[in-house]
Structure 1
């Protein structure tokens, strides 16, 4: 399990941690470049055990590398091993490890043996980090286990300390609770098949915050243009202040979005024995519309706005959280093919786009006359597909009428109306 707390370093610790964060970023990039070069030239796979010897030599020759604790540098190389393992694993969605830019979030990893935590009182605690002393953090919840690793990071709101904790908790037995299907969307953040109303995520930013963010983005563009034209690209103090203000607002937006996502997924995993969702390809779903300044495309700006709305609802993060929370709370997650879930009648199984004219919010089947909210109809269809796919052994206490589920897959399942036979 992960535990994250707000940290409050002193001014001296803030400078030390900032320097270490940039060193970690440079070490990651150099180690990645070394591995890529050896593979390209000699087809040789370099691992952290061998790179640690080069790290020891670099610590003797370079002071800025020597300033970083040795445990942190070794942990960076182990993380690079894990990134390569995920890339080589065909079942893992991770891509090739990427270089970290200067604007990347600062973070310094440590193994669990290198840190020590002591509690000061009910609300405060301290963690001892190598070469920097005791770092205070807000004890907002109990750690509740053995610390395996720790990471100090900084975002727009300040510094945080995260712990990877071994709690010893085992997955719950099957809870035997009702099954459900969930349709994740934009207009309705989530529509559960067992509920009569959609769950909508509150706005991640208020109107005032949205206007302020837009004004700050415009100010940043002007200041960047001035810096490139008159200062050779060097950032001024005002530009850095603007960037920090933008980071604070975007971090606040991400925290509110993450809070809603955690509450939604926890509620679904606790109260249902089978959870059916769509197996969405978010990368393809949010692909940018083609267009350029010379050859403008069609509805490029509209597609960009739709992409932002889809990503704001974080379908990939919701699925990731449901995968481990379902395992934790004794439920089963089933991802079903998403083809025509919004065009399929949950009552008779007919697939016809005319049942949902104009992609509106109302679904009316052209054959049986079944009428329902389009998102709720889709969630019922998702639940039926999940039961057929992996929910046959789930004990559900909710009685549902049998529905005719059409074949799904890349084969088009639309039923064409047969014309009257002439003569």
Structure 2
């Protein structure tokens, strides 16, 4: 079977290369926004990829800074935008929207053959980025390149993404693997929570500490207080000062460090669980709805808004959806299955007879069986 995976590696660019790639990010975002505006202005009967491509080519000729994006990457923006609408029509995502200035910067490299990947040493690799040149990246995983690549094992493309700690490249890797044998491990159910991040039905738990050390948490709090003081002197529409921008960068670096540690824990924990269990059941939660604000409206203001905001932050910090994504593809690689169980009444239904009794759950990790009529 063919397996599609992504591999992310950090790029080490020269100052000139950084300036070039930094110009490509806003140019790709502007092209997306132009496409979105053109889509909204065009009647539904005239919307097509060919027409959109024909119309969007002219601004590239008239506006010099739109040429910062390579031609193939510019074409890929159009394909990605159209795919976003297809996902919306099929119910997998919401409608595409304008990308803000603070949106994540990304530039596509659609063709894998353009990358010219080579390995320089044990820890370093090199690839070609259009309009940038040869760039070095950290070699942390074997990639099919050169003579090792064939029709079924190859790098099909890549994407440049801007993170807090610099630019990274995400390779799209296609490999051919044998069909896995059925996983013979036991069946288990997993309850995702906050007090207990992962509570398994066999009575065990998977827990973690704080993503930041006490010193880092103290520094983050101090920086957030400093940010609010600086913003108090910032007038609407006024250009952001260098000091405030530097404070934003420091906060983003600490939060990104916490995210990297969370992802590392999730990868290790889901790998361990996938190796042990063959079938895993999880609640099919509507996480987006769970983390909505309780502020309400002017006519009907919400209650316990601050408490709900704290709960929303805790849920977002645990990244329940990412845990399920990791489990899903790791179980598939091992011949296991992930089963999503409808969430209503899963905490109150008796596992023996299916009877629903209110109040049968004392806490996330403790269930009690209360007598009920047969």
User: Could you state the TM-score of these two structures normalised by the residue count of structure 2?
Assistant: 0.89
- Quote the residue 1:245 is aligned against: 250
Q: Secondary structure at the match of 2:289?
A: helix
- Quote the residue 2:215 is aligned against: 208
Find the partner of 1:355 among 339, 360, 371: 360
Q: Confirm whether residue 260 of structure 1 aligns to residue 265 of structure 2.
A: yes
Q: Confirm whether residue 60 of structure 1 aligns to residue 61 of structure 2.
A: yes
Question: In 2, distance between residues paired with 1:307 and 1:33?
Answer: 33
User: Could you state the TM-score of these two structures normalised by the residue count of structure 1?
Assistant: 0.79
Residue 140 of structure 1: CA displacement?
A: 1.3
CA separation of 1:295 and 1:355: change in aligned 2, threshold 3 A: closer
Q: Confirm whether residue 51 of structure 1 aligns to residue 52 of structure 2.
A: yes
CA separation of 1:320 and 1:36: change in aligned 2, threshold 3 A: farther
User: 1:211-249: CA deviations, max 9, x gaps?
Assistant: 2222222222232332216xx420111111111111111
Question: In 1, distance between residues paired with 2:233 and 2:69?
Answer: 36
Aligned-residue Cα RMSD (Å) equals 2.3
Residue 28 of structure 1: CA displacement?
A: 0.8
Question: In 2, distance between residues paired with 1:292 and 1:206?
Answer: 38
Matches within 5 A, 1:52-201: 52-90=53-91, 92=92, 94-111=93-110, 112-144=112-144, 145-194=153-202, 196-201=203-208
Task: Give the greater-gyration-radius structure (CA).
Answer: 1
User: 1:230-269: CA deviations, max 9, x gaps?
Assistant: xx42011111111111111111121112122222333333
Structure 1's unaligned 5+ residue stretches are: 368-414, 419-423
Residue 44 of structure 1: CA displacement?
A: 2.9
Residue 21 of structure 1: CA displacement?
A: 0.5
Is the 8 Å Cα contact of residues 270 and 331 (structure 1) preserved in structure 2? no
Question: In 1, distance between residues paired with 2:364 and 2:320?
Answer: 21
Residue 350 of structure 1: CA displacement?
A: 4.5
- Quote the residue 1:396 is aligned against: none
Residue 184 of structure 1: CA displacement?
A: 0.9
Structure 2's unaligned 5+ residue stretches are: 145-152
Matches within 5 A, 1:380-391: none
Residue 341 of structure 1: CA displacement?
A: 2.4
Query: How many residue pairs align between the two structures?
Result: 361
